[in-house]
């Protein structure tokens, strides 16, 4: 199949801004990794007009998808887990063009998963976990047990991804396969939630208690990336924090995370007077 695609990727390889090209082939009849295409042609470029360009091809009853991605867009996806499928492609794909060993160096960086990159990913997943857990608790308290069950499944998924990151690995699409090997305690929670003979209400109740402990025990460590930003100033408004470049990747979940950290006495609320009587600006400090 690679031979059939050669005219396409050779033309792209001749461009001076092309950094690397890799191929991912479908290995199973149903292949979520390749979006069920027979082959993915993944091309990384520099200074592209379009940060993400896609073309689909068909040949000899086969289907191929070509993704041309600007390096900055790719870095954003890697740092924030914005497009998890790409991570799979980078880790398992076969490099067929590599300018100045760009692709090999990138693969090595992904395998090493540097601590600064890991810190950002931890706070992103932790913020999602906190929001999801709070929503689950609220639904449970309102006796919406099926909805709370669905939300608990989502919460455990965030917890699983967080556990994988804590071990220095990138979460894959098959995250529960990873967790079963490296964090069996969390995998056991997932089994108890989904396979227990207890009624739904009781299953969610037990998981709320168990997951609350796991969330609280990770609070400071997983929020470290945010706290490092906050100690640089005496206090922050929500707007100042939201617009900080190191916080923007998880800005949508920032309010939920801050409120949780206030509850845990990790972050303190500072009230500043406004022109309105008995109305205060709410600011935050470590």
Mean pLDDT of all residues in 100-124: 92
Average pLDDT, the chain: 92
With CA atoms as reference, report the closest residue to 106 among 89, 84, 128, 126. 89
Q: In whole angstroms, what is the distance from residue 141 CA to residue 83 CA? A: 34
Mean pLDDT of all residues in 231-236: 94
Checking DSSP bridges between strand 39-45 and strand 62-70, what pairing results, if any? parallel
Q: What is the length of the chain?
A: 286
Q: What is the pLDDT of residues 176-206, one digit of tens each?
A: 989 999 999 999 999 999 999 999 999 999 9
pLDDT above 70: residue 1: no
- Reported as a pLDDT band with limits 50, 70 and 90, residue 213 is very high
Q: What is the pLDDT of residues 234-282, one digit of tens each?
A: 999 999 999 999 999 999 999 999 999 999 999 999 998 888 778 889 9
pLDDT above 80: residue 172: no
pLDDT at residue 69, as a whole number:
97
**For 111-135, b where at least 16 C-beta lie within 10 A, e where not — what string?**
eeeeeebbbbbbbbbbbbbbbbbbb
pLDDT at residue 22, as a whole number:
95
pLDDT at residue 95, as a whole number:
95
Question: The whole model's pTM is what?
Answer: 0.86
Q: In whole angstroms, what is the distance from residue 141 CA to residue 147 CA? A: 11
- What the chain holds in terms of domains, given with CATH numbers, is 2-112 (3.30.460.10), 115-273 (1.20.120.330)
Q: What is the pLDDT of residues 34-70, one digit of tens each?
A: 988 999 999 999 999 999 999 999 988 889 999 999 9
Which of 72-86, 123-137, 150-164 shows the lowest mean pLDDT across its residues? Answer: 72-86
Q: In whole angstroms, what is the distance from residue 75 CA to residue 157 CA? A: 24
Burial of residue 141, with CB atoms counted within 10 A of its CB: 0-12 exposed, 13-18 middle, 19 or more buried: exposed
Mean pLDDT of all residues in 144-161: 96
pLDDT at residue 276, as a whole number:
78
SS3 content of the chain, % helix, strand, coil (to 5): 60, 15, 25
pLDDT at residue 33, as a whole number:
85
Q: What is the pLDDT of residues 68-82, one digit of tens each?
A: 999 999 999 998 888
The radius of gyration of the chain's CA atoms, rounded to the nearest angstrom, is: 22
Q: In whole angstroms, what is the distance from residue 178 CA to residue 164 CA? A: 7
Mean pLDDT of all residues in 103-113: 91
């Amino acid at each position: 199949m690679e031979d059939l695609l050669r005219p396409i990727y050779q033309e792209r390889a001749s461009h001076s801004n092309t950094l690397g090209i890799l191929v991912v082939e479908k290995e199973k009849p149903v292949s979520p990794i390749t979006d069920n295409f027979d082959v993915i042609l993944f091309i990384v470029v520099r200074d592209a007009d379009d940060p993400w360009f896609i073309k689909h091809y068909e040949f000899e009853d086969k289907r191929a998808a070509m993704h041309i991605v600007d390096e900055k867009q790719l870095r954003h996806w890697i740092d924030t887990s914005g497009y998890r499928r790409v991570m799979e492609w980078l880790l398992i794909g076969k490099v067929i063009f590599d300018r100045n060993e760009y692709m090999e160096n990138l693969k090595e960086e992904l395998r090493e998963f540097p601590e600064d990159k890991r810190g950002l990913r931890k706070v992103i997943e932790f913020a999602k976990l906190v929001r999801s857990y709070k929503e689950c608790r609220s639904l449970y308290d309102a006796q919406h047990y099926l909805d709370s069950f669905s939300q608990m499944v989502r919460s455990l998924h965030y917890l699983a991804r967080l556990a994988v990151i804590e071990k220095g690995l990138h979460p894959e699409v098959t995250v529960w396969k990873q967790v079963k090997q490296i964090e069996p305690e969390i995998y056991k929670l997932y089994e108890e939630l989904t396979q227990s003979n207890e009624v739904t209400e009781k299953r969610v109740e037990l998981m709320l208690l168990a997951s609350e402990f796991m969330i609280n025990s990770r609070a400071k460590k997983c929020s470290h990336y945010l706290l490092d930003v906050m100690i640089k100033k005496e206090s922050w408004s929500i707007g100042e924090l939201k617009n900080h470049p190191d916080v923007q990747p998880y800005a949508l979940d920032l309010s939920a995370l801050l409120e949780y950290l206030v509850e845990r006495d990790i972050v303190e609320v500072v009230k500043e007077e406004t022109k309105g009587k008995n109305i205060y600006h709410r600011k935050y400090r470590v």
